[in-house]
Amino acid sequence: MAEAIKKEHPSCCVELHELTTKGDRILDAPLAKIGGKGLFTKELEQAMLDDAVDLAVHSLKDMPTEVPDGLVIGAITTRLDPGDAFVSAHYAAVEDLPVGARVGTSSLRRRAQLLAVRPDLTICDLRGNVNTRLAKLDAGEFDAIVLAAAGLKRLGFERRIRTILPRSVMLPAVGQGALAIECRAGDAAILSAIEFLRDAGMTTAAQAERAFLRRVEGGCQIPVGVYAEVDANGQISIDAMIASVDGQRICRSDAHGAGEQAEALGTALAEELLDAGGREILKEIGITA
Ligand SMILES: NCc1[nH]cc(CCC(=O)O)c1CC(=O)O
C-alpha cells in the first residue's frame, strides 16, 4: 500500500509505521471470546487521533460499523477476493472430507455454514496469523482449514488454496477481501491523496453490507454472512444469512435494487432476516437486535 501511494504521488514522502493491535497480540483465544469491538483497529485509530500517523490501512472486515468521532473511512479498495478458501493436504473440497474430519477455522460464521452442509464435521478453533494457521495444518492438527482467500493471496499463499467455497454454501464476512483506508475527518490533503484507491462499486457494496451488519449488531464474532455486488448498470444485489452456531438453522435471503438505495436495502434485508428467525438465533448467543 505504501508503494502504491508513493507511485501515485512521487513527491510525497511515505513512512510506514507498523503497529500491533490487541487482535494481533492475543492469539490463543477465539475472537468471539476476546470480544469487544475494534480489536484490530483501536490502536491505529488512536495513533491518527494523536497525530502520530495520517492514515491507517485495515481489512474492511475488521472495521466496526461505527467509526470513532473525528475519523472517516476515506477510501475502500477493490475486493481482492471476497471468498473463503478450503486448504488441505489430502482433500480437494469439503465434500471429499471423511466423516468426522477435523476442520480448523477461526470464525463462528464459517463453523455454522460448514456444519449446515456437513453436520458430521468436527470444527476446531484455529487462530493466529496466516503463517501459524498453515503451520498447524501442516503439523497434522487438522484435515483441512478454512480461512479468507484474500489473506492467503495477499501473503503469497495462493497456491495453497484447493477451492474457494461457493457462495451458495459460504457467505463471506462483511467487507471481506477489501481494504479500508481510514484517516482524520477534516484532513483534505490525505483524503484527496487516497482518492485514487477508491473503488466505486465496492464502496456502494460496502454501504449495503455495513448497513446490514449495523442493523444486526454483529461483528465477525457472530454467525452472519453477507455479500453485495454492484453491476455495470449500478444495480446492487445483496445476499445475506444469519445462522445458529450449530448450523442447524440458517435464515437466508437476498435483495436487489438501485445502488443509491444500498444502505436502505441492507437495513431492510437485515430486518427481514431478523423477523424470519434471526432475532431468536442472536438472542440465544446473547445479542439483542
Ligand atoms: N479475522 C481476521 C482477518 N481479518 C482480515 C483477514 C484477511 C481477509 C481480508 O482482508 O478480508 C483475516 C483473516 C481471515 O479471516 O482468515
Of the listed ranges 32-46, 63-77, 249-263, the one predicted with least confidence: 32-46
- pLDDT higher than 80, residue 112: yes
Q: Please tell me the predicted confidence (pLDDT) of residue 39.
A: 86
Angstrom CA distances, 190 to 55, 68, 199, 206, 242, stand at 8, 18, 17, 21, 37
Distance 230 CA to ligand 1 centre (A): 22
What digits encode the pLDDT tens for the residues 24-64?
888 777 666 666 678 889 999 999 999 999 999 999 999 99
**Nearest partner of 201 among 67, 77, 56, 81, judged by Cα:** 77
- pLDDT higher than 60, residue 219: no
User: Domain 84-164 is of which CATH architecture?
Assistant: 3-Layer(aba) Sandwich (3.40)
Q: From the CB of 147, is ligand 1 less than 6 Å away?
A: yes
Name the strands in the sheet holding 250-258, side by side, starting at the edge strand that comes first in the sequence. 224-230, 235-243, 250-258
Active site residues: 62
**Nearest Cα residue to atom 8 of ligand 1:** 151
Does 1-79+177-198 match 84-164 in CATH topology? yes
- pLDDT higher than 60, residue 220: no
H or E stretch including 132?
Answer: helix 130-138
Contact between residue 150 and residue 84 where contact means Cβ atoms under 8 Å apart: no
**Nearest partner of 93 among 144, 136, 156, judged by Cα:** 144
CA-178 nearest atom, ligand 1: 11
What digits encode the pLDDT tens for the residues 94-103?
999 999 999 9
**C-alpha cell of residue 220:** 465477525
**Nearest partner of 87 among 150, 140, 143, 162, judged by Cα:** 162
Q: Please tell me the predicted confidence (pLDDT) of residue 110.
A: 96
Q: Of the CATH numbers 3.30.160.40, 3.40.640.10, 3.40.50.11540, 3.40.50.720, which one belongs to the domain with range 199-288?
A: 3.30.160.40
Q: Classify burial at 30, counting beta carbons within 10 Å of its beta carbon; exposed 0-12, middle 13-18, buried 19 or more.
A: middle
Please state which CATH number belongs to domain 1-79+177-198.
3.40.190.10
Distance 59 CA to ligand 1 centre (A): 7
What digits encode the pLDDT tens for the residues 8-28?
999 988 999 998 888 888 877
The residues spanned by each domain of the chain are: 1-79+177-198, 84-164, 199-288
Q: What is the mean pLDDT of the chain?
A: 93
**Nearest Cα residue to atom 5 of ligand 1:** 59
CA-148 nearest atom, ligand 1: 16
Name the strands in the sheet holding 55-59, side by side, starting at the edge strand that comes first in the sequence. 55-59, 179-184, 71-76
Q: From the CB of 114, is ligand 1 less than 6 Å away?
A: no
Top pLDDT among 40 and 83 is at: 83
Mean pLDDT of 169-190: 97
Count of Cβ atoms closer than 10 Å to residue 81 Cβ: 20
Distance 60 CA to ligand 1 centre (A): 9
